[in-house]
Structure 1
């Protein structure tokens, strides 16, 4: 029991998984640092689907076969449609691909799914998840002010954890540096020039903010 004084022998292995950036949450005061280091013994990073496009054809075939085994009509994907799957951004990761394959198996009569059907499905999916935009053009300052107002309101009558100044700066720095690196395909020299930073300063911030640098992807 919690707070008990009698030792209880146990032989267990804990496997914890998350899609959140825990180091970022620790800096925000939203995740316990001591718990992180208790769990973070053998970390395994599984790259998002968009970073391992070579897996997409096999995964697509697997999900279609799984759908067929559950009673849905058997389907295959045309080669040009497979190429299109590799170019998709997959914001929903593997689950998005699985749901798409099940939808194709359930809704379409043709045995071979071609590029036209796939484009239609991807366009509809992108439209359905498109975020609503506030009326008019919102400046960066207005967006930050709105975010901060919501942040303080979320704490009710209390106050956020101390250190909010550094945390807010890091929240702005991290996406700015991350998106600049993405735009320069991981080229740190170009990113440093674009940001107006010394390259060593950029490398230091990448380490401090725990930013994943993926080279050569667009």
Structure 2
């Protein structure tokens, strides 16, 4: 996953970003899908929603990693997530999110490699930790569904950005940053089975009941530590 990029217009409202994610994605995507490169595509709206989607995805994925990790990396990730919640400084938030990518990747890879150990870890979680785990999994699935909605308009947005870089003027993005974000959202959508199939199967093996979300309009859960 490329470095997470956050548009200025969305970072300032992170504390309220979870509200209305699904409705916004659905309405905005309908305006993008089926348009041509010459149509009046709202690039700023797309990138704003893509930023929010990517944020929810990265945050929930890190929360999952912190909960299922059997290594000391869990504490490191939890500390970063707490710092993310407590700061309002835009540069600090971006730096924390970027720093979460590597440890989260390592934990998720290790957990998948040693599934038996991960299952035992989940089985032995306290009721409170399991509640937190399921909330993170719910958000992980919602973010994936949102990305799938947005992916339908990704090619049109990419073409619009290349043909008219000035469309980014009010978005807070550079051309390369916008292209990376479109690629990130597309990548999330293409790898949806992890959130919607593999994770629920893992929970089932651990005896934890979990029904993944089926709509991008589902309301994200509070995953405060």
TM-score (norm 2): 0.22
Larger Rg: 1 or 2? Answer: 1
Using structure 1 for the length normalisation, give the TM-score.
0.22
